Amino acid sequence: MVKHVSQKDFEKKIFRHSSKDLVKRVGYNYTTSETNQIKTEMSRRLIEAIEKFNKNSSEQTQKMLTLTKWIIGLTIVLGIFGIIQIAPQITKIFSMIRW
């Protein structure tokens, strides 16, 4: 026999259950209204999780872009230092060549 509780009590109980437990409860003999409330709560939690994932993903992407810019900058600096170190050697070699 299915025990029916008041609407407010049922709504309060939904929030206490884990998401896995809500999935299991969809198949129970609840009224259509109660089943719809469970499905609505499951959808709300799913949307909340997706939004959290999107936020974290965006933050990670921004960090990766910043790191990439730093790597590009450091590569350019190292290239300039390499040219500065090689340039005297090249001029020395050219000065030794007699045309």
- Cα separation, 37 vs 65, whole angstroms: 42
Decide if 38 contacts 26 (C-beta within 8 A): yes
For the packed helices 7-16 and 32-96, what is the interaxial angle rounded to 10 degrees?
A: 30
Residue by residue, pLDDT tens for the chain (99 residues) are: 445 555 556 566 666 777 777 777 666 666 777 778 878 888 888 999 999 999 999 999 999 999 999 999 999 999 999 999 999 998 888 888 876
pTM above 0.85, yes or no: no
Per-domain boundaries in the chain:
7-70
